[in-house]
Amino acid sequence: MYVDNKTVYDVKALLEQAVDNYNHSELVVEIKYCPAGSKRAISGTYYRRCPKAPNGGLIRLRINRTNKYPVSVPFKTSEYFKKLDSKGREVVYQRLRVEKFTCPEHLLVAIFLHEFSHYLDHIEGRNGRYKQTKADRFAVEVLTKLNIVSQ
């Protein structure tokens, strides 16, 4: 894994530790700051094809310099519940698990793991449904093993 980090946060060892049990030799990770004026705390994208990683293997993370910690991030859980809307119709909602991250390094690892799940799906040839929920569950599972979040 090649990490191109344009921020002050030293996360390479933590990223490698998080995915140590998985094939990631072809992976390129770019870490940058969000553009000025961005209202997002963090964003992540997995690129299946791009000039920097033609075989599919670029994860780009962007973190906001102005974040105030702790930062809360919702993760989808695969648990559903029903509720009536204002017109009396039954609507199905998915429960969210909200985790608070107290430092930028842990926040970067959380979003990296979500995107890494998409990378694994790509290299293993999977293209199933519910990818975002699956990626969130993968991230929470690894974050729990790393003792970054608790069960």
Mean pLDDT of all residues in the chain? Answer: 91
C-alpha 69/C-alpha 86 separation (Å) is: 35
Q: Residue 51: its pLDDT value, please?
A: 80
Taking the alpha carbons of 142, 145, 148, 151 in that order, is the dihedral positive or negative? Answer: positive
Q: Determine what percent of the chain is predicted with pLDDT higher than 90.
A: 66
What are the distances in angstroms from CA 4 to CA 13, 48, 59, 145?
A: 13, 18, 10, 25
Q: Partners of 46 in the beta sheet?
A: 59
- The pLDDT value given to residue 129: 63
pLDDT above 70 as % of the chain: 99
Question: Is pLDDT larger for residue 29 or for residue 124?
Answer: 29
Task: Write down the pLDDT at residue 128.
Answer: 62
Summarised one tens digit per residue, pLDDT across range 65-78 is 999 999 999 999 88
Q: Which residue has the higher pLDDT, 23 or 106?
A: 106
Could you read off the pLDDT of 33-58 as tens digits, one per residue? Answer: 999 889 999 999 998 877 877 777 89
Residue 48 and residue 102: Cα distance in Å, rounded? 31
pLDDT band at 101 (very low <50, low <70, confident <90, very high): very high
Give the tens place of pLDDT for each residue, 10-37: 999 999 999 999 988 889 999 999 998 8
Give mean pLDDT, residues 60-64: 96
